[in-house]
Amino acid sequence: MMEIIASAFALAAGFGIVFGLVLAVHWGRQWEIGLAPYIFYGVLAVVAFGALTSGRNFSLGVEFAAAREAFKNPAVVWVGRLTSLFVLVACSERILHLIFMNGRRPDVPKVLLFAFWIYFLCDIISPALLGRHRSVSHEYLYMMLAGTAALLANRAGADAALRSIRNALFIFLVLSALCALWKPDIVMERHYTGLVPMLSIRYGGLANHPNSLGPLAVVFMLCLWSRPLPRWLNSFGWLLGAVSLLLTQSKTSLLSSIVCFSCLVWFGYRNQLKARLLDSRHPELPVGLLVMAMLGTILLAAMVMFTGVSDRLGHFFASRAGADLVSLTGRDQIWRVAIEEWHRNPLFGYGLTIWDQGYRQSVGLLAAFHAHSQFYQSLASAGLIGAAGLLIYGLALFYFSLRTAKASEGMSVALFLLIAIRCVSEVPLSMTGLSAEQVAHFLMLILIAANYHPHPPHTEVKSIRSSARGWRAA
């Protein structure tokens, strides 16, 4: 009886998806943007709902709480399924819209789109079918569809994505802050000793981990920079994002925020900065920077010579925070396991299930949900094939982020640098599912696609001028 009910449900779901796609394509003809820019409302809702219903307790340690959160409430599972259907329909509609649209098609970065598909083929399809432990799941398709739809975006779609991700993250951070007042053990670890002096808490919000909340706060502030909120709400948003980022005590996120905003300042005000730095009539800025550098060097030398800083450093590295810094919070042990798995399966890797619950128990790393490095993750799960796909995709992202840097006012490069820095100790380019971790990846692809032009404006001007000269000569 249950088999008949399941078959009927599957058949009805299939008809529903097809009918929804037909309606979406028909409706999408009248709307230039589509629904793809809004998919992270549902994704972040699933993350928040999952954290609230998981029964986790950060007071026992964030790693234990993250492991506990793996056991999802049945209601969260159904909300996730509905969100997956929405992602499937919204992203497929954009792809079908491009195929069947009339008139001139948008400028698509075909090389980057091809590199994205190669990465999916090498890091998902190859280990899923040829890895030592084969696996097939519908979740592997969602990030591929979302990435493909993102690379078909136009300027209007990019603007909608920036605003929707900004709003979704704002709601997510506000709910996290309210939970800190309501049930603080759900969102923060107490008695934590980190790098920030006199701060004994570590804040994870409703994200899976503080290291997951940190980049979300950075992306939120990047969106605020590009698309500010109205008046006082904008100031509150900056305060909320900055405090959330600081309380995570995520070293990678703090470093990447400095790099990202330095990039935005350079691309936004580079002409003014060049004029001030090279203006011999007003040398105040370059002289001030030089004096600050000299004073900083003198202060550092005095500290080394007269304050016994070496003894303090020794005590620091003997503490928990120092040990975490040296070993990157135990990541060296995880990397060692990943290398061992690659040695056993050098070409196609272990497979995409390498960090599931059974594997974590077998190696004694219950809180290691991935390899804590994008390179080691690809190498262990997909072997040399996966590492090659990652290299190709990474180089393509680097090239196209630089090419669209000026048109995007530095946003494409800032997001690339955020992802590149996180690749050292996290897995921001995961393709095994769609979660809050992929916000920066998805937004970067949209901004690259929306600001990409196969023929830069200066090239077109030169060709027009050369054609005019030829006509005059004739």
Structural domain includes residue 447 = yes
**Is the pLDDT score of 411 beyond 80?**
yes
Structural domain includes residue 471 = no
**Is the pLDDT score of 324 beyond 70?**
no
Structural domain includes residue 173 = yes
pLDDT of 264 reads 92
Q: Among residues 199, 161, 230, 203, which one has the least CA distance to residue 51? A: 203
Predicted structure pTM score? 0.82
Structural domain includes residue 14 = no
Structural domain includes residue 5 = no
Residue 54: which pLDDT band, with cuts at 50, 70 and 90?
confident
pLDDT of 286 reads 61
Task: Please compute the mean of the pLDDT values over residues 17-32 and round it to a whole number.
Answer: 53
Residues in the chain: 474
Structural domain includes residue 469 = no
**Residue 189 belongs to what domain range?**
20-458
Structural domain includes residue 4 = no
Whole-number average pLDDT of the chain: 80
Sign of CA dihedral 344, 350, 355, 360: negative
**Is the pLDDT score of 261 beyond 80?**
yes
Highest mean pLDDT among 58-67, 100-109, 319-328, 448-457: 448-457
pLDDT of 306 reads 56
**Is the pLDDT score of 331 beyond 90?**
no
**Is the pLDDT score of 471 beyond 50?**
no
pLDDT of 26 reads 46
Sign of CA dihedral 438, 440, 443, 448: negative
- The domain total for the chain is 1
pLDDT in tens, 124-147: 999 999 988 898 888 899 999 999
Q: Can you tell me the distance from the alpha carbon of 188 to that of 59, in angstroms, rounded to the nearest whole number?
A: 7
pLDDT in tens, 79-137: 888 899 899 989 988 888 877 765 455 678 999 999 999 999 999 999 999 988 898 88
C-alpha count within 13 angstroms, C-beta hemisphere, residue 180: 20
**Is the pLDDT score of 379 beyond 90?**
yes
Structural domain includes residue 330 = yes
Task: Give the 3-state secondary structure of residue 376.
Answer: helix
